[in-house]
Amino acid sequence: MFSFNPDYATKYGLQQSVVLQYIIWWVLHNQIKGKNFRDGRHWTFNSVRALSREFPFLTPKQVRKCLQDLERDGAILVASYNKMRADRTKWYSIPDTLMLDIRKNKTYKLWMQKHLPLGANQYQFEYNNNNNINKEMEPIWKS
């Protein structure tokens, strides 16, 4: 299944918004999993060839153009954190301005609640209907 944000489609183009949504999903996924953290942000990586397999309706040339357009328009950040010099796989992340926009999104908030385990500083609250007081419960630790 493929998805896109209509606002991003209007701003960046339909094909670009589909690729952008894919990158956003993987950056958020890596954030939740604590993976690919470099220079203060989470990243995802893939080659154009691998990305074109993810989007059977786009040719490798179209995927490359989408990535170039998104980088030019400031919708994605591009870097290289490969261990081998010959590895030309690019790494992609989301700029802070777009991440702030994403975090305001209701769908993002629901997705994060579903996927982010409660951490050491997060607590569940129980609502007591009898006296309308929120009672803090013991933290639930990730096992």
Q: What is the pLDDT of residue 87?
A: 84
pLDDT at 117 (0 to 100): 53
* Predicted local distance difference test score (pLDDT) of residue 130: 39
Q: Which residues of the chain have pLDDT under 70?
A: 1, 111-113, 115-143
Cα–Cα dist 101/52, whole Å: 27
Identify the pLDDT of residue 104. 82
CA 21 vs CA 9, 107, 125: distances in Å: 10, 13, 33
Answer yes or no: are the C-beta atoms of 37 and 95 closer than 8 Å: no
* CATH class assigned to 6-113: mainly alpha
pTM of the model: 0.75
